[in-house]
Structure 1
Amino acid sequence: MWMGEGFVSEIQHNRGREDTMDDVGHRYLRELVQRCMVLVGKMGSLGKIKTCRMHDLMRDFCVSKAQEENFLHINNILSLKLCEVQNNKVRRLAVILESDENYIEGVKFNEYPYLSYRVCCKLELGNLNYLQTLVNVRPKTIQIPTWFKFNLLQVLKVRNKKGAQDAIQMLISRCPLIEKLHLYGHLKKLPEAHQFSPNLAKLTLSGTKLEEDPMETLKKLPNLKILCFRQAFEKISKYESVGRASFNGKNMVCSKGGFPLLQYLFLGTLYYLEEWRVEEGAMPSLCRLEIEFCSRLKMIPDGLRFIATLQELKIIDMPKPFIDSLNEGGPDFDKVKHVHSLVLKSFCQRMIIVSS
């Protein structure tokens, strides 16, 4: 948004290297934090400030000053006059949705850096050349020309329904510089490795129900640092939801030379996974590994013993025999004895066992 307003207007040089406008903007934000004008809410998984906030007195002052100078308008959706937005009488707008409101109709988007609205009609996104963040989008609800690419998009979250496989592959291939990608919902098969951005650093798969081993494709992503497999809940009736795994296969293999920069791997609620094999030379940079509620997984991979960088291993809500095998004296303890921090918790345990 700062770039769109012209507050960050040019590339600058810093300590002998050329900073992009995005780098400059993050430096400005860090300076505001250092001056205690802005407080850090959360740090992102890739080391940048993810959310921030203000002290209430500072916020009140800023809102008052913004309204005085006609810089920003804050509206409840019930009082919002959409015609004013469409006629450009309001330059900057914050819209507060009530808890029972699902979407906004009739607002025409132009050059916004961030977009997340749930809509009931098609979104024309072909002119959003400066878009950097696009979340909660359903591929079948957007329209973009065949030639268009999101050349500045860095964050994408796709919510998918069955039957949109081609639309997802098309959307991902139009994002050449994306860094963070979240695929949510039924997918069945991943796009090919060359369709992903080479810049991709974080990938989350939620309830994708993949049928083929995803590691064969994902191991080829050169800059992937964070990989998460999570379940998603699908509503099957008014009162019932069912959990969906991100991978429905029984076997998973991380082969030699794969995942060169991967630092964090989360395997969560893979109901059907029985065997996970890690070859020597795979994931040479892995620091943190979490396995949660993979109830059919028979044992920890033997190849973990070769990952000298592994510092933290969490095994949560796994069967007691699986946990017992990793305790000192257990048959699999040798595979993980080099790990500095080991957290183990079985289904029936309330106490977490930590050994270092």
Structure 2
Amino acid sequence: MLQHCKGLPLAITVLAGLLARKDTVDEWNAVHKNVYAYIRRGTDLGPNYKGEGYEGVSWILELSYDNLSYHLKLCFLYLAHFPEDYEIHVSTLTKLWMTEGFISSASAEVMEDVSYMCLSELVGRCMVQVGKHGSSKKIKTCHLHDLMRDLCMLKAKEGNFVHIINYSVATETKEIPNSKVRSLAFYLDETVGACCPRRDERDGHVRSLLYFVPKFWNLGSKVTKNLLRSLLKNFTLLRVLKFEGMHGREFKLPNEVGNLVHLKFLSVKDSDIQAVPSSIANLVCLQTLDLRSLYWDLKIPNRNVFSKMEKLRHIYLPKYQSAREKRLLFATEAVNLHTIVNICIQASSDLDDFVKLTNLRKLGVIALDGVEKKEKGTNIIFKHLHSLSVDSVFKVVPWNIALSCPNIYKLRLHGEITELPKDLLRLTNLTKLTLIDFGDLKDDHIKVLEKLPSLRMLFLHMRRKFHLGITFGGPLVCSKGGFPLLEFLSLSDLMHLKEWKVEKGAMPSLCRLHICNCQKLEAVPDGLQYISTLRELTIGWMHFEFCSRLREGGEDFYKIQHVQSVIIIVRDKC
């Protein structure tokens, strides 16, 4: 069987992924017989396979596809929606799979977990490639190899699974989809003037519309408004509407959105939408709702617009929503909620209702003035929460909220830190910690952080670069034996950091180090030379002198000469 792979790595890994799930000699023999059956019926699948010599591997790729179960075939074919070389976010993909009805689970299993296991199965079969891993080692992004994407597109077209309308290439790709296609994907570019499906009586069969736009792309408010109104009027049976990244002048989500009563997935993330109509309350089938518009103060009607959405699992609200809006979610028993992002609170007790949501895994909180003063302690415990984000901009971080989540893996804190409580060490599962605009960074803070037993990723960022109160009371010291499992460290915009010391034996597992725009930092620590695991160093927007010391022949080169990948971006020579 290996000989027929013709030495192509993708073919070998696909065949290996297929055989890895065959445990008996009979099963291996069945694969062997099928391989030759594929060979006998021919290896040329036509022009869909690109490149000379690739045709000979097509039968192995198709064999791996045919060996999938029915629901895994659907999951794989859904990847045909995404553009070539597109880095697919797993959290979005798995939500879309659930929305489309590809995922089913027993009562004891969480659908999100089952959806992720389906992705892992496709990765294990070498049909999907991993892009990035998250802090908990789970797959964060994925993509398709070009040859595998060719197979995916071929099978999707054969089964009328999805129709791609690509405005960035030749016009022949914008052919009218046939009446059996249930899903449309639009690839837009800067030259497109109208990007709406044709008004055709057959359009009523479409269930999913996914738009993909270039980053920082500006469509224009008039085109966007007309496009939205047309979609909401002519596609009343939609289940999925992914309308992200639509830039232009601000516009409102039309009142006609209330006509899409079958909608399960609605995302206007990173679009210029500034208001949502009250008719959104009609969308009682919604499972995922993402309203993270570029306008942080996006207007939501002051009534229980979410109260009938009993199937809601993931909700992302605008950045700053009035405190009274938070209870709109709980006018009904929203027991299925797994994700709630951007909820404003005025006191820790405002979170009491959230404890009742035993399926809640991710929570994003915006702490308003005085939260840390009103309550120093809290009796609530979030046992099931995995990810917590607390924004307390220009104010002291309310630690009592973070410490009420003993089992979290990810913690993001945006606000001033006057102390790091020793109780933080009780978060034994914490693998990723992000601190933003934390103010004074003292040595005793690092003494606490470096003792976190499971910490793998640490981000220290200062966005308020010129805040006069930000100082460093002395050198930043990482002690011997500190940060035992830390693999990634990012220091960004620490404008007042002058000296950083790393003792021999500190950070023994560090693999990646990023230093960006720390203008007063004179040199990298001498202790980096002892971290044999360090394989990636990125220096961004530092002064010319700092960068020169790190280049070959420079006085600090000996500290990093063992690092496999060193990327240096010089700010200027001033």
Q: TM-score range by the shorter chain?
A: 0.7 to 0.9
Kindly indicate whether the alpha-carbon contact (under 8 Å) linking 1:73 and 1:90 is maintained by their aligned counterparts in 2.
no
> Which position in structure 2 is the counterpart of 1:311?
535
> Which position in structure 2 is the counterpart of 1:191?
421
Kindly indicate whether the alpha-carbon contact (under 8 Å) linking 2:317 and 2:341 is maintained by their aligned counterparts in 1.
no
> Which position in structure 2 is the counterpart of 1:284?
508
**Alignment partner of 1:114 is 2:339:** yes
**Matched residues, percent identical?**
33
- Give matches, 1:102-251, under 5 Å: 102=321, 105=325, 107-109=328-330, 110-111=334-335, 112-119=337-344, 122=350, 124-138=353-367, 140=371, 146-161=378-393, 164-165=396-397, 168-192=398-422, 194-213=424-443, 214-233=445-464, 248-251=472-475
**Alignment partner of 1:323 is 2:547:** yes
Please give the TM-score of this superposition, normalised by the length of structure 2: 0.49
- Structure 2 SS opposite 1:271: coil
Structure with greater strand share of residues: 1
- Structure 2 SS opposite 1:137: strand
Higher RCO (CA-CA < 8 Å; seq separation 6+): 1
Q: Structure 1's 244 and 62: CA in aligned 2 closer, same or farther, altered over 3 A?
A: farther
Kindly indicate whether the alpha-carbon contact (under 8 Å) linking 1:177 and 1:199 is maintained by their aligned counterparts in 2.
yes
Query: Which sits farther off after the overlay, 75-84 or 203-212?
Result: 75-84
- Structure 1 SS opposite 2:416: coil
CA distance in 1, matches of 2:506, 2:108: 41
Unaligned runs of 5+ in 1: 12-19, 235-241, 350-356
**Alignment partner of 1:77 is 2:77:** no
CA distance in 2, matches of 1:120, 1:336: 46
> Which position in structure 1 is the counterpart of 2:108?
10
Deviations 1:214-239 (A, max 9, x none): 321111011111111112249xxxxx
Deviations 1:273-301 (A, max 9, x none): 11111111111111111111111112211
Kindly indicate whether the alpha-carbon contact (under 8 Å) linking 1:273 and 1:296 is maintained by their aligned counterparts in 2.
yes
CA distance in 2, matches of 1:201, 1:135: 17
CA distance in 1, matches of 2:533, 2:128: 35
Residue identity matched to 1:346? V
**Alignment partner of 1:339 is 2:563:** yes
Q: Structure 1's 173 and 333: CA in aligned 2 closer, same or farther, altered over 3 A?
A: same
CA distance in 1, matches of 2:560, 2:131: 34
CA distance in 2, matches of 1:245, 1:316: 25
The offset of 1:7, in angstroms, is 3.0
Kindly indicate whether the alpha-carbon contact (under 8 Å) linking 1:181 and 1:204 is maintained by their aligned counterparts in 2.
yes
The offset of 1:45, in angstroms, is 4.5
- Structure 1 SS opposite 2:480: coil
- Structure 2 SS opposite 1:153: coil
Q: Structure 1's 131 and 52: CA in aligned 2 closer, same or farther, altered over 3 A?
A: farther
- Structure 1 SS opposite 2:568: strand
Larger radius of gyration: 2
Kindly indicate whether the alpha-carbon contact (under 8 Å) linking 2:314 and 2:339 is maintained by their aligned counterparts in 1.
no
> Which position in structure 2 is the counterpart of 1:299?
523
Residue identity matched to 2:414? Y
The offset of 1:77, in angstroms, is 2.9
- Structure 2 SS opposite 1:325: helix
CA distance in 2, matches of 1:201, 1:96: 23
> Which position in structure 1 is the counterpart of 2:484?
260
> Which position in structure 2 is the counterpart of 1:61?
207
Q: Kindly tell me the number of residue pairs found equivalent between the two proteins.
A: 329
Q: Structure 1's 322 and 176: CA in aligned 2 closer, same or farther, altered over 3 A?
A: same
Residue identity matched to 1:10? A
> Which position in structure 2 is the counterpart of 1:238?
none
CA distance in 2, matches of 1:115, 1:331: 50
Q: Structure 1's 332 and 107: CA in aligned 2 closer, same or farther, altered over 3 A?
A: same
- Structure 2 SS opposite 1:125: helix
The offset of 1:48, in angstroms, is 2.7
Q: Structure 1's 115 and 338: CA in aligned 2 closer, same or farther, altered over 3 A?
A: same
The offset of 1:125, in angstroms, is 2.4
CA distance in 2, matches of 1:248, 1:114: 36
Kindly indicate whether the alpha-carbon contact (under 8 Å) linking 1:184 and 1:232 is maintained by their aligned counterparts in 2.
no
The offset of 1:345, in angstroms, is 2.6
CA distance in 2, matches of 1:275, 1:89: 53
- Structure 2 SS opposite 1:108: helix
> Which position in structure 1 is the counterpart of 2:118?
28
- Structure 2 SS opposite 1:338: coil
CA distance in 2, matches of 1:44, 1:95: 21
